[in-house]
Amino acid sequence: MAYDTALVTGAGTGFGLALTTALARRGTRVTTVARDADRLAAAVSGLPGVTVAPGDITDPTFRAAVADRLGERLDLLVHNAGELGPSPLPPLADYPLDALRAVLETTVVAPLGLTRLLLPALRRSPAPAVVTLSSDVAVEAYPGWGGYGAAKAALDRLATQLGVEEPGIRVHAFDPGDMRTAMHQAAFPGEDISDRPEPETVVPALLRLLDERPPSGRYRASDLAGSPA
Protein backbone atom coordinates (compact mmCIF):
# COMPACT_ATOMS: atom_id res chain seq x y z
CA MET A 1 0.00 0.00 0.00
CA ALA A 2 1.49 3.34 -1.03
CA TYR A 3 1.08 6.35 1.23
CA ASP A 4 1.79 9.65 -0.50
CA THR A 5 1.91 11.73 2.67
CA ALA A 6 2.65 10.93 6.29
CA LEU A 7 3.24 12.63 9.63
CA VAL A 8 5.50 10.91 12.17
CA THR A 9 5.94 12.29 15.68
CA GLY A 10 8.97 11.56 17.81
CA ALA A 11 10.97 11.15 14.61
CA GLY A 12 14.36 12.41 15.76
CA THR A 13 15.63 9.08 17.10
CA GLY A 14 14.76 5.44 17.58
CA PHE A 15 11.74 3.84 15.98
CA GLY A 16 10.33 7.12 14.68
CA LEU A 17 13.50 7.86 12.75
CA ALA A 18 13.76 4.29 11.45
CA LEU A 19 10.17 4.40 10.22
CA THR A 20 10.65 7.81 8.62
CA THR A 21 13.70 6.51 6.76
CA ALA A 22 11.80 3.47 5.47
CA LEU A 23 8.79 5.54 4.36
CA ALA A 24 11.01 8.08 2.60
CA ARG A 25 12.74 5.30 0.69
CA ARG A 26 9.31 4.14 -0.45
CA GLY A 27 8.56 7.58 -1.88
CA THR A 28 6.31 8.89 0.90
CA ARG A 29 6.53 12.60 1.65
CA VAL A 30 7.01 12.61 5.42
CA THR A 31 6.62 15.50 7.82
CA THR A 32 8.58 14.80 10.99
CA VAL A 33 7.99 16.19 14.48
CA ALA A 34 10.33 16.22 17.47
CA ARG A 35 11.21 18.62 20.27
CA ASP A 36 14.93 18.96 19.52
CA ALA A 37 15.15 20.99 16.31
CA ASP A 38 18.87 20.48 15.69
CA ARG A 39 18.79 16.75 16.32
CA LEU A 40 15.71 16.30 14.14
CA ALA A 41 17.22 18.24 11.24
CA ALA A 42 20.48 16.29 11.45
CA ALA A 43 18.68 12.94 11.73
CA VAL A 44 16.59 13.33 8.57
CA SER A 45 19.14 15.27 6.54
CA GLY A 46 19.42 13.79 3.07
CA LEU A 47 16.22 11.76 3.25
CA PRO A 48 14.15 12.44 0.12
CA GLY A 49 10.81 14.13 0.61
CA VAL A 50 11.22 14.59 4.37
CA THR A 51 10.51 17.92 6.03
CA VAL A 52 10.90 18.90 9.67
CA ALA A 53 8.43 20.53 12.03
CA PRO A 54 10.33 20.91 15.30
CA GLY A 55 8.22 21.59 18.34
CA ASP A 56 6.37 20.17 21.33
CA ILE A 57 3.16 18.32 20.51
CA THR A 58 1.82 19.10 23.99
CA ASP A 59 1.55 22.74 22.85
CA PRO A 60 -1.89 23.32 21.26
CA THR A 61 -0.56 26.23 19.21
CA PHE A 62 2.16 24.03 17.73
CA ARG A 63 -0.33 21.25 16.96
CA ALA A 64 -2.51 23.73 15.09
CA ALA A 65 0.49 24.99 13.12
CA VAL A 66 1.42 21.45 12.11
CA ALA A 67 -2.14 20.74 10.96
CA ASP A 68 -2.19 23.94 8.89
CA ARG A 69 1.14 23.07 7.34
CA LEU A 70 0.04 19.62 6.18
CA GLY A 71 -2.77 20.91 4.02
CA GLU A 72 -6.00 19.28 2.97
CA ARG A 73 -5.01 15.62 2.75
CA LEU A 74 -3.01 13.22 4.92
CA ASP A 75 -2.67 9.49 4.27
CA LEU A 76 -0.80 8.28 7.36
CA LEU A 77 -0.50 9.61 10.90
CA VAL A 78 1.94 7.88 13.27
CA HIS A 79 1.90 8.77 16.96
CA ASN A 80 5.36 7.67 18.02
CA ALA A 81 6.20 10.44 20.49
CA GLY A 82 5.94 9.49 24.14
CA GLU A 83 7.42 10.15 27.54
CA LEU A 84 8.86 7.52 29.86
CA GLY A 85 8.62 9.45 33.09
CA PRO A 86 11.08 9.34 36.00
CA SER A 87 14.19 7.19 35.73
CA PRO A 88 14.83 4.92 37.55
CA LEU A 89 11.20 3.86 37.25
CA PRO A 90 9.42 4.38 40.60
CA PRO A 91 6.60 2.27 42.05
CA LEU A 92 3.17 3.90 42.07
CA ALA A 93 3.48 4.52 45.81
CA ASP A 94 6.34 6.94 45.04
CA TYR A 95 5.28 8.20 41.61
CA PRO A 96 5.36 12.02 41.43
CA LEU A 97 1.93 13.16 40.28
CA ASP A 98 3.34 16.03 38.24
CA ALA A 99 5.51 13.52 36.37
CA LEU A 100 2.47 11.34 35.72
CA ARG A 101 0.59 14.32 34.33
CA ALA A 102 3.47 15.00 31.94
CA VAL A 103 3.53 11.37 30.77
CA LEU A 104 -0.22 11.41 30.16
CA GLU A 105 -0.07 14.79 28.41
CA THR A 106 2.59 13.66 25.94
CA THR A 107 1.41 10.09 25.41
CA VAL A 108 -2.37 10.45 25.49
CA VAL A 109 -3.73 14.00 25.44
CA ALA A 110 -1.44 15.42 22.75
CA PRO A 111 -2.00 12.56 20.28
CA LEU A 112 -5.75 12.94 20.65
CA GLY A 113 -5.52 16.68 20.18
CA LEU A 114 -3.41 16.29 17.05
CA THR A 115 -5.64 13.55 15.64
CA ARG A 116 -8.74 15.69 16.06
CA LEU A 117 -7.15 18.49 14.05
CA LEU A 118 -6.06 16.10 11.30
CA LEU A 119 -9.26 14.08 10.92
CA PRO A 120 -10.57 16.22 8.04
CA ALA A 121 -7.31 15.69 6.10
CA LEU A 122 -7.32 11.96 6.87
CA ARG A 123 -10.92 11.60 5.73
CA ARG A 124 -9.93 13.02 2.34
CA SER A 125 -7.39 10.25 1.79
CA PRO A 126 -8.54 7.24 -0.26
CA ALA A 127 -6.99 4.85 2.26
CA PRO A 128 -6.08 6.66 5.49
CA ALA A 129 -4.35 5.08 8.48
CA VAL A 130 -3.52 6.13 12.03
CA VAL A 131 -0.90 4.25 14.05
CA THR A 132 -0.33 4.61 17.78
CA LEU A 133 2.80 3.08 19.31
CA SER A 134 1.81 0.67 22.02
CA SER A 135 3.81 -1.48 24.44
CA ASP A 136 3.45 -4.73 26.32
CA VAL A 137 3.19 -2.66 29.51
CA ALA A 138 -0.22 -1.52 28.26
CA VAL A 139 -1.53 -5.04 28.93
CA GLU A 140 1.00 -6.52 31.41
CA ALA A 141 2.04 -5.20 34.83
CA TYR A 142 5.73 -4.90 35.69
CA PRO A 143 7.25 -3.21 38.75
CA GLY A 144 7.95 0.46 38.06
CA TRP A 145 6.03 0.64 34.81
CA GLY A 146 2.74 1.88 36.26
CA GLY A 147 2.83 5.44 34.93
CA TYR A 148 4.04 4.65 31.41
CA GLY A 149 1.86 1.54 31.27
CA ALA A 150 -1.25 3.48 32.28
CA ALA A 151 -0.54 6.02 29.54
CA LYS A 152 -0.04 3.35 26.88
CA ALA A 153 -3.20 1.52 28.01
CA ALA A 154 -5.14 4.76 27.65
CA LEU A 155 -3.64 5.33 24.21
CA ASP A 156 -4.67 1.80 23.20
CA ARG A 157 -8.20 2.59 24.31
CA LEU A 158 -8.27 5.79 22.29
CA ALA A 159 -7.10 3.88 19.22
CA THR A 160 -9.85 1.30 19.69
CA GLN A 161 -12.47 4.00 20.09
CA LEU A 162 -11.27 5.96 17.07
CA GLY A 163 -11.38 2.81 14.96
CA VAL A 164 -15.05 2.36 15.85
CA GLU A 165 -16.01 5.98 15.39
CA GLU A 166 -14.07 6.45 12.14
CA PRO A 167 -14.75 3.25 10.14
CA GLY A 168 -13.19 4.75 7.02
CA ILE A 169 -9.80 5.01 8.73
CA ARG A 170 -7.62 2.06 9.67
CA VAL A 171 -6.50 2.68 13.26
CA HIS A 172 -3.75 0.39 14.53
CA ALA A 173 -2.19 0.23 17.97
CA PHE A 174 1.19 -1.29 17.15
CA ASP A 175 3.30 -2.98 19.83
CA PRO A 176 6.88 -3.14 18.54
CA GLY A 177 8.24 -5.11 21.50
CA ASP A 178 11.52 -4.28 23.23
CA MET A 179 13.96 -2.26 21.16
CA ARG A 180 17.44 -0.82 21.61
CA THR A 181 16.42 2.82 22.04
CA ALA A 182 17.39 5.73 24.27
CA MET A 183 14.05 5.52 26.06
CA HIS A 184 14.48 1.82 26.76
CA GLN A 185 17.98 2.49 28.05
CA ALA A 186 16.60 5.20 30.36
CA ALA A 187 14.20 2.63 31.77
CA PHE A 188 17.14 0.41 32.68
CA PRO A 189 19.91 2.85 33.69
CA GLY A 190 23.32 1.27 33.85
CA GLU A 191 22.17 -2.01 32.31
CA ASP A 192 23.32 -3.53 29.04
CA ILE A 193 20.41 -3.59 26.58
CA SER A 194 22.48 -4.59 23.56
CA ASP A 195 20.49 -7.82 23.30
CA ARG A 196 17.38 -5.85 22.27
CA PRO A 197 16.73 -5.55 18.53
CA GLU A 198 17.51 -2.33 16.69
CA PRO A 199 14.41 -0.32 15.68
CA GLU A 200 15.23 -0.82 11.98
CA THR A 201 14.61 -4.54 12.39
CA VAL A 202 11.08 -3.92 13.68
CA VAL A 203 9.97 -1.44 11.03
CA PRO A 204 9.18 -4.14 8.42
CA ALA A 205 6.46 -5.50 10.71
CA LEU A 206 4.70 -2.15 10.74
CA LEU A 207 5.15 -1.76 6.99
CA ARG A 208 3.44 -5.08 6.50
CA LEU A 209 0.57 -3.94 8.71
CA LEU A 210 0.23 -0.76 6.67
CA ASP A 211 0.46 -2.64 3.37
CA GLU A 212 -2.12 -5.29 4.23
CA ARG A 213 -4.57 -2.94 6.01
CA PRO A 214 -6.26 -5.47 8.30
CA PRO A 215 -9.20 -4.29 10.43
CA SER A 216 -8.53 -1.63 13.02
CA GLY A 217 -7.12 -3.08 16.23
CA ARG A 218 -4.05 -3.85 18.30
CA TYR A 219 -1.20 -5.76 16.63
CA ARG A 220 2.20 -7.01 17.86
CA ALA A 221 5.33 -6.98 15.74
CA SER A 222 6.11 -10.50 16.94
CA ASP A 223 2.87 -11.76 15.34
CA LEU A 224 3.69 -10.23 11.96
CA ALA A 225 6.28 -12.81 10.98
CA GLY A 226 7.78 -12.85 7.52
CA SER A 227 7.26 -9.13 7.10
CA PRO A 228 8.42 -7.63 3.82
CA ALA A 229 11.26 -5.09 3.87
Give the integer Cα–Cα distance in Å for 177 and 166. 27
Give the integer Cα–Cα distance in Å for 186 and 87. 6
- Cis amide prior to 54 (ω within 30 degrees): no
Out of 3.40.1190.20, 3.90.25.10, 2.30.33.40, 3.40.50.720, select the CATH number for domain 5-223: 3.40.50.720
Backbone angles phi, psi at 183, to 5 degrees: -65, -40
Q: Contact 128/74 with Cβ under 8 angstroms? A: yes
SS3 state at 120: helix
User: What confidence score (pLDDT) does residue 41 get?
Assistant: 96
User: What confidence score (pLDDT) does residue 190 get?
Assistant: 76
**Which residue in the list 3, 95, 148, 219 is annotated as catalytic?**
148
Give the integer Cα–Cα distance in Å for 211 and 186. 32
User: What confidence score (pLDDT) does residue 228 get?
Assistant: 47
What does DSSP assign to residue 170? Answer: E
The per-residue pLDDT for range 107-131, each reduced to its tens digit, is 999 999 999 999 999 999 999 999 9
Domain ranges within the chain, ordered by starting residue = 5-223
Residues of the chain whose pLDDT is less than 50?
227-229
pTM of the model: 0.94
Amino acid found at 51: T
148 is known as an active-site residue: yes
